[in-house]
Amino acid sequence: MTDTSSSKKPRSLEQEILELDEERKQAVIHADVLTLERIFHDDYSQITADGVIQYKTELLSWLRSGEIKYPNVHLDDYKVRFYGDTAVVTCRAQVEAELWGKEVAYQSRLTRVWVKQEGQWQLVASQGSRIAQK
């Protein structure tokens, strides 16, 4: 008889956050607003690499309407740190997007803040800083 109980190890908190972050990324690429409504906290805000503050409702509206599109997003160099029920994720992003009819491509460093409330992780804030091209 084979013991299979050890073959399925529980996910670590870091794995859980990274899986949620990948789910968020895929939802942005595919404009899956329903998934993003669940992932983004009602108070979610993001500061873009250009310093513009965007809120959950407007961001989801733009994705839904096709005003903004993110067909290609590559993330790497992840670091995840925990402070109680808060996770801070940093990573590097390479993005190709169409923003209000204008195609853009850029690299940035991202910081995202996830909070666990009532047993569920939600994204509450995100900030991007553009990486200067040399």
What are the φ and ψ backbone dihedral angles of 60, each rounded to 5 degrees? -65, -35
State the pLDDT at residue 50: 85
Residue 65 pLDDT: 96
**pLDDT of 49:** 85
* Statement: 13-130 belongs to CATH 3.10.450.50: yes
Helix (H, G, I), strand (E, B) or coil at 95: strand
**Can you give the residue ranges of every domain in the chain?**
13-130
* pTM score above 0.75: yes
pLDDT per residue of the chain (134 residues) written in tens, 0 to 9 = 444 434 444 569 999 999 999 999 999 999 999 999 999 999 999 999 889 999 999 999 999 999 999 999 999 999 999 999 999 999 999 999 999 999 999 999 999 999 999 999 999 999 999 998 77
